[in-house]
Structure 1
């Protein structure tokens, strides 16, 4: 069976290899993978996984053998996988807690898009009421960002999308952004909630624009830079402001189901910026690292 496995060193971050067929436990389903969804973090920080391990967390496919204990979806169900380890293979054994049925009207390939990105955005934005609130989303041109813009707008927020260049702004207003910026220098807005995927100096800048009682969720650090807070920045009067980390890896089935239902209802789109076949994974990774992709990359397993 073919799979994309972790490759450390200059020839990485992944390579094709022949691996053993998965052997599901009684509470796991066997899924034939049809599409995989790439994420910046798992590819850029590949040294956090052992070399040779089947990589990837997001995918979609069809259940070819239901869990023997009767849990999870039946054979033949189209499913999406989210935050499911070792997902980038022709067949994978999956806990039902990481599966969600893909509804009619949603393309199976689009089902590979939400995964980590969509669930992260959903969970952060659920932490407080957003109706008529000001929300800032940094790195809004990426996968998490494009899901977050849509979900925040659906919740009734006034959404400001921050991107690294004008090119990265394409399509964000159509997704629900009220304002699209390439810098915080020119805005006087104060934000009730910030979802930051970039880190580095931008994290400190976003903190400076946080309203009293607001929360900044640090969900990524794509800049790879350190954050330095100027003296006195973390002190203030009024309602306390909060800086929260985010690494929620709890089961994703319910959240994936909600995202897919929104997609089926036409309220949420899959922000797929590049589609191809998994044989072209090296080119896709380079495009991702070069910030040439607006949203998610989905590759067909053929």
Structure 2
């Protein structure tokens, strides 16, 4: 089968190759991939995450062509979105049924491919903050894939959403999906926040912590800045106690959350915020666009269209 594999000699570390068809374990389904979505982390840290010749990719949506031998999960012909630590960027992938979620017939599979990492990360990080109804929630890196899902889900949960972006242009469209305030950087945040969904890292992580009120937390989700974070804890002790920085890890068993988010897409209650879309031959272009911050939301690449 055809796949994108990691090749350190290439400009973006990717090339097309023929690779063996995966052989599913008893608890895995074999999925024909129709669309994939790229995530900043898997692109930015590709050399650290993948060996030469390995098929990268976390997110894929498609159709089950072989159900799991143990009887778990969706049946043959089911439309699904999937997560796994690798193997998405190929014509077929084998996936644990615990990480497969059903996709309603009304939802385009390209849109569904944006859900597993970005959508589930935003959902679970928001849950980790605790109840947010009527509380101020800050989302940093709000213009990215996780950020745009986080803005929508926090608004849906009843929060007052403050969306922080790197430039005014990157903030376009955020009010329309639920942001109550849009700020460039964090200097414009004038009131404390209950919680932070922090996607940038670096110096911004420490600045975000300084904005958290007593009893609140920062969920450290990502490191889009690609810079280490330094926090002066003595200064933070003087400012106020009983605030937390938590290293957020999304965990496993994505299936139920994928299905929930896909159902919201199907009812028009959630927008996938696709900023770039095309055939998977545009993988290098899409990867570079993500790294250059030229994609607002998600980058989706199609391998095939339904009915073809």
TM norm. shorter chain > 0.5: yes
Q: Deviations over 1:216-259 (max 9, x none)?
A: 01100110112222462231476500000012231100111111
TM-score, normalised on structure 1? 0.96
Displacement of 1:105 after TM fit?
1.5
Instruction: Map 1:107-146 to 2 at 5 A.
Output: 107-127=108-128, 128-146=130-148
1:31 touches 1:91 (CA, 8 Å); kept in 2?
Answer: yes
Which residue does the alignment assign to 1:167? Answer: 169
TM-score, normalised on structure 2? 0.94
Which residue does the alignment assign to 1:185? Answer: 187
Task: Measure, in 2, the Cα distance between the counterparts of 1:300 and 1:233.
Answer: 49
Task: Measure, in 1, the Cα distance between the counterparts of 2:264 and 2:126.
Answer: 15
More deviation, 136-145/8-17: 8-17
SS of match in other structure, 1:233:
helix
Q: Which consecutive unaligned segments of at least 5 residues does structure 1 have?
A: none
Displacement of 1:183 after TM fit?
2.1
Displacement of 1:8 after TM fit?
2.3
How many residues are aligned here? 302
1:63 touches 1:79 (CA, 8 Å); kept in 2?
Answer: yes
Task: Measure, in 2, the Cα distance between the counterparts of 1:288 and 1:204.
Answer: 24
2:84 touches 2:95 (CA, 8 Å); kept in 1?
Answer: no
**Aligned-pair Cα RMSD in Å:** 1.4
1:6 touches 1:15 (CA, 8 Å); kept in 2?
Answer: yes
Q: Which consecutive unaligned segments of at least 5 residues does structure 2 have?
A: none
Task: Measure, in 2, the Cα distance between the counterparts of 1:31 and 1:231.
Answer: 48
Task: Measure, in 1, the Cα distance between the counterparts of 2:259 and 2:30.
Answer: 19
Instruction: Map 1:239-258 to 2 at 5 A.
Output: 240-258=242-260
Deviant stretches of 4+, over 4 Å: 236-239
1:83 touches 1:115 (CA, 8 Å); kept in 2?
Answer: no
Task: Measure, in 2, the Cα distance between the counterparts of 1:105 and 1:231.
Answer: 50
1:133 touches 1:158 (CA, 8 Å); kept in 2?
Answer: yes
Is 1:300 matched up with 2:302? yes
Which residue does the alignment assign to 1:147? Answer: 149
1:13 touches 1:44 (CA, 8 Å); kept in 2?
Answer: no
